[in-house]
Amino acid sequence: EDQVTQSPEALRLQEGESSSLNCSYTVSGLRGLFWYRQDPGKGPEFLFTLYSAGEEKEKERLKATLTKKESFLHITAPKPEDSATYLCAVPGDYKLSFGAGTTVTVRA
Amino acid sequence: DSGVTQTPKHLITATGQRVTLRCSPRSGDLSVYWYQQSLDQGLQFLIQYYNGEERAKGNILERFSAQQFPDLHSELNLSSLELGDSALYFCASSVGTGAGGGNIQYFGAGTRLSVL
């Protein structure tokens, strides 16, 4: 069964302090990797899909990268509004298998 | 706004009761997925429907059932509720079936179920 592990569980950053989140996965055959953002009490919001090792995608202060075994979500010069839980997921035949998420708190 | 609508937003009920959660997918999406999110379990896949037909089941309890109607909206029925069923229930929709990288799932805002 597909396995997704995210680290760290929680990350507290000062505004402007860049950092990275890790998502490692074990799948029988990678068919893409998804990143979502989830605010408290809300549904996951789609951010990126990565398909192959070496691929990178950017959106505002977020950049996602993919290797054969893991993905990183880099947050550059974060702002308080970047505070959220970031989830990564891998697709199986029908479902998405999610990691437990990294909760990011950015202090002003 | 993802375009996926879930009602109600909150539901408070007692043990042993039965509830129905409703989901309207994004316009044009044929697949509907149901997920459960609890503090200790994270997001867990329950069931998927594609164009009215059940396509996949996850760890869905026998007390839970779902269906997708001709207008593509879906309902998740939870019966004989227990305290442990308290969780956030999310619906997601996508254009196609299968969970490959090209078939992005968009999530609704969820229904928070509290069983007292």
pLDDT tens, residue by residue, B7-43? 999 999 999 999 999 999 999 999 999 999 997 778 9
Is the pLDDT confidence value at A8 over 70?
Answer: yes
Determine, for residues A49 and B104 on separate chains, whether the beta-carbon distance falls below 8 Å: yes
pLDDT at residue number B41: 78
Strands B106-107 and B87-94, how do they pair? antiparallel
Measured between beta carbons, which residues in chain B are less than 8 angstroms from residue A87? 43
pLDDT tier, B45 (very low <50, low <70, confident <90, very high otherwise): very high
For residues B100-109, average pLDDT: 84
For residues A8-36, average pLDDT: 93
Q: Chain B contact for A48, CB < 8 A?
A: no
Amino acid at B104: I
Separation in Å, CA B10 to CA B17, B87, B113: 15, 10, 6
Measured between beta carbons, which residues in chain B are less than 8 angstroms from residue A85? none
Encode pLDDT of A73-96 as tens digits. 999 999 999 999 999 999 887 788
